[in-house]
Amino acid sequence: MTLKEAKEKVSAMAASHGGKLYAKVNFVFGDGTIHLDDTVSPTRVEDKELPADCALKMSLEDFGKLLSGDLNPMMAFMSGKMKVDGDKSIALKLASLF
């Protein structure tokens, strides 16, 4: 998965589930960062790092597996494939959206 594909997936997720998170999240990958702002309407998705309530750090490969259902969000966190900085309750809300 490329950063562009990841941004498209996050944008699609925001379009279908926007307004349920009420937070700002950074998805931090080795290749770059995607910022999701669900505090505004419509939900904004940008490919830069901005101040956020929560940051998820993982590889683009693992993010692709997470979105396809091949990787459980809780298992990704427990095995160290995903690191969470900031408000962990937001990460739990995100898990339900995946």
The reported pTM is 0.89
Range 3-87 classified under CATH 3.30.590.20: no
Write down the pLDDT at residue 51: 96
Q: Which amino acid is it at 30?
A: G
**Angle value at C-alpha 46, between 86 and 90, nearest 5 degrees:** 25
Q: Where are the domains of the chain?
A: 3-87
Neighbours of 14 (CB within 10 A): 20
Q: Are 51 and 88 in contact (CB under 8 A)?
A: no
Q: What is the pLDDT of residues 54-97, one digit of tens each?
A: 999 999 999 999 988 899 888 998 999 999 999 999 988 887 76
